[in-house]
Amino acid sequence: MTVTASSPEVIAEPSLLREGIAAFARNRVALVGLAFIVVLVVVALFIPWISHHDPYRVALDEQFLPPSLTYWLGTDNFGRDVLTRILYGARISLLVGTLPSLISLVIGAALGILSGYVGGKTDAIIMRLADMMIAFPSLLLAMVVMYTLGANLLNIFIALALVGWASVARVVRSETLALKGKEFIEAARANGTSRLTTMVKHIFPNVIPTLIVLFSLSIPDAIMWESSLSFLGVGVQPPEASWGLLVAKGKEYLLQAPIVAIAPGIAILLTVLAFNFIGDGLRDALDPSMKD
Amino acid sequence: MLMFVVRRLLASIPVLIGITAILFVMLNVVPGDPVALMMKEHASPDVIARVRAQMHLDDPIIVRYFSFLWNALQGNMGISIKLNRPVTNLIAGAFPNTLMLAAAAALVSWVIGIPAGIISAVRRDTVVDHLFMGFSLVGVSMPIFWSALLFQYVFAMQLKWLPVAGFYGPKYLILPAIVLGWSSAGVIARLTRSSLLEVMRHDYIRTARAKGLREGLVITRHALKNAMIPVVTIMAIQVASLLSGAVITEAIFGIPGVGRISVDAIQSRDMPLLQGSVLFATVLVILGNLVADILYSVLDPRIRSQMRKGGAS
Amino acid sequence: MAQHNETVLSVSDLRTEFHGGRGHIRAVDGVSFDVGRGRIVGIVGESGSGKSMTALSIMGLVPKPAGKVTAQSIMLDGTELTSLGADGLRRVRGRDMAMVFQEPMTSLNPVRKVWEQVGEPLAIHKGMNSRQIRARVLEMFELVGIPEPKARLDAYPHELSGGLRQRAMIAMGLICEPKLLIADEPTTALDVTTQAQILRLMLELRDRVGTSIIMITHDLGIIAEMCDEVNVMYAGQIVEQGNVFDLFDRPSHPYTRGLLASIPKTTEKRTDGRMPSIPGMVPNLERLPPGCRFNPRCGDVMAICHEAEPPLGEVGGGHLARCWLHSRKADGPAPAAGAVL
């Protein structure tokens, strides 16, 4: 019996990145989050040109004005426009949300890859350290660090980075362990590639999608911690205003002018929600196996 | 089983020492003289020197750490600089309040979170699912201090259903417990949902259906027990996040608990008090993790077998 | 035409469709076959041929929102399954017909004891209490040859080996004494020795208890050993149907012939050093070729094969094949066979 050959269909493999972006773009909720953040960033950057109100002035004769056309959200106890204060606060909160996350991402990734790839004693020590950090209440830890270092903006970065690196490290480590068993790593080693090069050139690029997801999901946590710290008085100090501090100040006037305390909280809620949308969208797009 | 518990306890000791050592070092290398900062206006250099000697502040740090641990084991954690009372007494007095608050909050989070998660999973992708998960996400995204203020304003100040602050009876715990439990509920709901969905994908669920079991029983008899395993272990680790949340909740609602003490200690730079409460928090967290491990093994017979064979860790 | 009480299962024109994200898939496309009392009927095919889906469709286990199952008739020992609602079908499941799955490792609930699970059909369908169930499960364990059955009752699944687990699954399937047992690749996940034991067990059970069995597999060896009748499936359709001797002696569909030819035989010597196989790949069910679904890979393909789907034609004495080689077009002479491209 003669058998004929037939040409099997050739399927082109789209790159993970392009597919990921496409999947993300299909997620309407994530796009809404992205849009919100973009608008917020733009407004926060250009606020001095957008709003003519001065966030630092004091005009006691204009205390606690209700919302009006001039003062969209009314004024606070010093007669300052609440909305302007919130938008200036956005700068700090966004900054403190993203920068420490980035730092903890770098530290966590480095230690996670190291721990997972090298294994042995290094792994044991790093993971013990990480487990301790994760187990301990984050806010308390951050508070202790702020107490030790003093309360200013730079120290907040340090405190939050310290609190956040451990969970990044754990996830990256398990990804590294999974990758370690794959053939292309063995092949690289068989070729005589050094351990460091293997980690940097082979393992690291493959954990980047996870890192992106982790990054976007750790920003909301950082924003929450910073605002909590500032609320308690051990975070950002006046006259700088982050959202947490605004709420703390407004708390004293809760009965007279609730907007002053409530509004900055809404800002936090919306921003954290937006970042959560983005993070969830990225996770679903880049790594469907992490989905429910 | 007993061996397992003992083994885990022993394994926890290095962790305890590790965490407390790090924290102790952090708290004690504060630049600037803590005593001078404490006493500010009143103190002359002689008084400061005397107090420092009294507190052994000039000994090497390792000595100080171990003497602190040693004393703590005997129940002596120093004297609060600000309040001039033994730290141990202060914490012992405050702890029950925090415990009540945390327990009530945990209860709230389970009662709301678990059913919500189960319903969401069973009615996946329906309006109910989206609604519940939406609420959970919002709950998780709300900073506790803000929801506390909001609830306080609406329910206490405006509607006057509940007291604003203070702690003179169980009624005073209701609002704080709801606030604290609310964000935990979101986490538990999401976890329950994803865990149940994951379990429903397993082959043994198909087997159960193949036997002709009613769908409701498939879920309760086969799926739930498996699905609850990760959820229950999270519950025990909730201790850490509840403590963090308690700090803020107690501050806003004026509940005299350990969280409130910690905040006061930080704000007045009362180092012994802060030290004591941090040590205390560490012990609680470790206990919580231990309970989580035990619960996990009770629920999953596979772990129990491993334990019997030689102890997984 | 077999008499009503000699046919345990009669499936007529079973179709299962999925509306996926991008297309419309007919995983089971017009399948019809009968299972006689006490007979073992095999369904053989590659992955994606629709053999498992056929079983799931009969059992009513196709995931609901995604898949739609229709049939002209599915008659189980006198009961018309298509006229039962979901609840009615559920009552039949596990009691009158049961299924054994491929993966014994994962098909049992890890957190429940084995006796509870194996005995669960009795609780569902016969309302027995725990004591009665335990006794019956013990009997079944002895029947399926589980050593130390009393001790195993309280075991958890992870404490049993793969072979024991599969025996337990078979016990679970037979515990309500169903007329029909559907076994979906029951031995694929087991090692060769255990495979042989399980197959032998199934033959014994058929002889002793008289259960009819549908054996789903991709392994022609198992078909040869176990089955009385065979259905060969390809791309959702039955392409050859007949008793096992006819199939192996006179394979009539080119696909069947290809399958048989690709079994390595120790008695043959190949001089060109290559293993025969059927060229090409199983078609994508969303984009089927026009005409006969096998035409891209068929060595005997003719012009008509690209134009129209062949019906199941008689090869002789109840042996059917879905191929233009064995059917005549209504308006023309029999097509010439053996065209070469």
Give mean pLDDT, residues C290-307. Answer: 83
Q: Which of C276, C281, C299 is opposite residue A4, by nearest beta carbon?
A: C299
Residues 244-263, chain C, touching B (beta carbon < 8 A): none
Same domain, C9 and C127: no
Q: Is residue C30 part of a domain?
A: yes
Instruction: Say if A28 is an interface residue toward chain B (CB within 8 Å).
Output: no
CA B263 distance to own-chain centroid: 16
Same domain, C171 and C183: no
Distance from CA of C299 to the nearest CA of A (A): 5
Same domain, C83 and C207: yes
Residue numbers in C near A1 (CB within 8 A): 257, 261, 299-300
The pLDDT assigned to C55 comes to 92
Q: How confident is the model over A174-203, as pLDDT tens digits?
A: 888 888 777 677 777 777 777 777 777 778
Task: Determine which of C111, C114, C126, C216 to mutate to test the interface with B (most B C-beta atoms within 10 Å).
Answer: C111
Q: Please provide residue C8's backbone torsions phi and psi, each rounded to the nearest 5 degrees.
A: -85, -40
Give mean pLDDT, residues A134-155. Answer: 83
Burial class (CB in 10 A: 0-12, 13-18, 19+), B99: middle
Instruction: Say if A289 is an interface residue toward chain B (CB within 8 Å).
Output: no
Q: Is residue C83 part of a domain?
A: yes
Q: How confident is the model over C199-247, as pLDDT tens digits?
A: 988 898 889 888 999 999 988 889 998 999 999 999 899 999 999 998 8
Alpha helices in C93-161 (DSSP H): 114-121, 130-143, 149-152
Residue B65 CB coordination number (10 Å): 17
Give mean pLDDT, residues C88-98. Answer: 90
Chain-chain contact of C120 with B305 (C-beta, under 8 angstroms): no
Same domain, C159 and C203: no
Task: Determine which of B145, B231, B287 to mutate to test the interface with A (most A C-beta atoms within 10 Å).
Answer: B145
Q: How confident is the model over B186-199, as pLDDT tens digits?
A: 989 999 998 999 89
What is the distance between the alpha carbons of residues B238 and B178, in angstroms, rounded to a whole number?
A: 15
Same domain, C15 and C53: yes
Residue numbers in C near A4 (CB within 8 A): 279, 297-299, 301, 341
Alpha helices in B40-126 (DSSP H): 45-54, 61-73, 87-122
Q: Which residues contact A127 (CB under 8 A, 6 or more apart)?
A: A115, A170, A173
Give mean pLDDT, residues A7-17. Answer: 47
Instruction: Say if B58 is an interface residue toward chain C (CB within 8 Å).
Output: no
pLDDT of C314 higher than 90: no
What is the distance between the alpha carbons of residues C53 and C93, in angstroms, rounded to a whole number?
A: 16
Instruction: Say if A244 is an interface residue toward chain B (CB within 8 Å).
Output: yes
> Alpha carbon of A67 to those of A60, A94, A263: distances in Å?
16, 25, 12
- Touching subunits of C (3+ CB pairs, under 8 Å) are A, B
Residue numbers in C near B299 (CB within 8 A): 111
Mapping DSSP to helix (H, G, I), strand (E, B) and coil, where does residue A227 land?
helix
The pLDDT assigned to A2 comes to 36
Mapping DSSP to helix (H, G, I), strand (E, B) and coil, where does residue B43 land?
coil
In which domain, by residue range, is C167 found?
Answer: 103-175
Residue of A nearest to B23 (CA): A144
Q: Who wins on pLDDT, A228 or B49? A: A228
Same domain, C111 and C197: no
Give mean pLDDT, residues C153-171. Answer: 90
Same domain, C24 and C139: no
Chain-chain contact of B208 with C120 (C-beta, under 8 angstroms): yes
Q: Which of C269, C287, C319 is the last residue of a domain?
A: C269
Mapping DSSP to helix (H, G, I), strand (E, B) and coil, where does residue B164 land?
coil
DSSP C248-262: HHS--SHHHHHHHHT
Q: Is residue C88 part of a domain?
A: yes
Q: Is residue C228 part of a domain?
A: yes
pLDDT of C339 higher than 80: no
CATH number of the CATH domain containing C199: 3.40.50.300
The pLDDT assigned to C232 comes to 93
Q: Which of A3, A8, A9 is opposite residue C299, by nearest beta carbon?
A: A3
Same domain, C90 and C8: yes
Q: Which domains does chain A have, with CATH numbers?
A: 26-45+73-290 (1.10.3720.10)
Give mean pLDDT, residues C75-83. Answer: 88
Q: Which of C223, C253, C269 is the last residue of a domain?
A: C269
Same domain, C194 and C232: yes
Instruction: Say if C293 is an interface residue toward chain B (CB within 8 Å).
Output: no
Q: Which residues pair with C184 in a beta bridge?
A: C216
Could you say which residues of chain B have pLDDT below 70?
1, 30-43, 48, 51-52, 54-58, 306-313
Q: Is residue C306 part of a domain?
A: no
Q: How confident is the model over A70-118, as pLDDT tens digits?
A: 777 777 777 788 888 888 888 888 888 889 999 999 999 999 988 888 8
Q: Which pLDDT band holds residue A58 (cuts at 50, 70, 90)?
A: confident
pLDDT of C305 higher than 70: yes
Distance from CA of B147 to the nearest CA of C (A): 40
Distance from CA of C141 to the nearest CA of A (A): 38
The pLDDT assigned to A288 comes to 54
The pLDDT assigned to B234 comes to 80
In this prediction, the answer to ipTM > 0.90 reads no
Give mean pLDDT, residues A235-242. Answer: 80
Task: Determine which of B125, B202, B211, B304 to mutate to test the interface with C (most C C-beta atoms within 10 Å).
Answer: B211
Q: Which of C59, C111, C156 is opposite residue B210, by nearest beta carbon?
A: C59
Residue numbers in A near B138 (CB within 8 A): 269, 273
Residues 197-236, chain C, touching A (beta carbon < 8 A): none
Q: Is residue C300 part of a domain?
A: no
Q: Which of C209, C243, C269 is the last residue of a domain?
A: C269
Q: Which of C49, C10, C53, C17 is nearest to C32 (CA)?
A: C10
Same domain, C227 and C254: yes
Question: Comparing A104-108, A148-152, A277-281, B222-226, which segment has the lowest mean pLDDT?
Answer: A148-152
Cβ atoms C234, C214 nearer than 8 A: no
Residue numbers in A near B26 (CB within 8 A): 144-145, 148
pLDDT of C341 higher than 90: no
Q: Who wins on pLDDT, C85 or C114? A: C114
Distance from CA of B83 to the nearest CA of C (A): 53
Distance from CA of C229 to the nearest CA of A (A): 26
Q: Who wins on pLDDT, B210 or A23? A: B210
**Can you read off the two tokens belonging to residue B40?**
């500010």
Same domain, C87 and C197: yes
The pLDDT assigned to C39 comes to 92
Q: Count CA atoms closer than 13 A to B157's CA, side-chain side.
A: 15
Give mean pLDDT, residues A26-45. Answer: 87
Same domain, C243 and C207: yes
Q: Is residue C303 part of a domain?
A: no
Tell me the whole-structure pTM to 2 decimals: 0.78
For chain C, percent of residues with pLDDT exceeding 90 = 28
Q: Is residue C257 part of a domain?
A: yes
Chain-chain contact of C111 with B301 (C-beta, under 8 angstroms): yes
Domain count, chain C: 2
What is the distance between the alpha carbons of residues B103 and B97, in angstroms, rounded to a whole number?
A: 10
Chain-chain contact of A145 with B282 (C-beta, under 8 angstroms): no
Q: How confident is the model over C322-336, as pLDDT tens digits?
A: 888 887 654 444 444
Q: Which of A15, A13, A29 is nearest to A282 (CA)?
A: A29
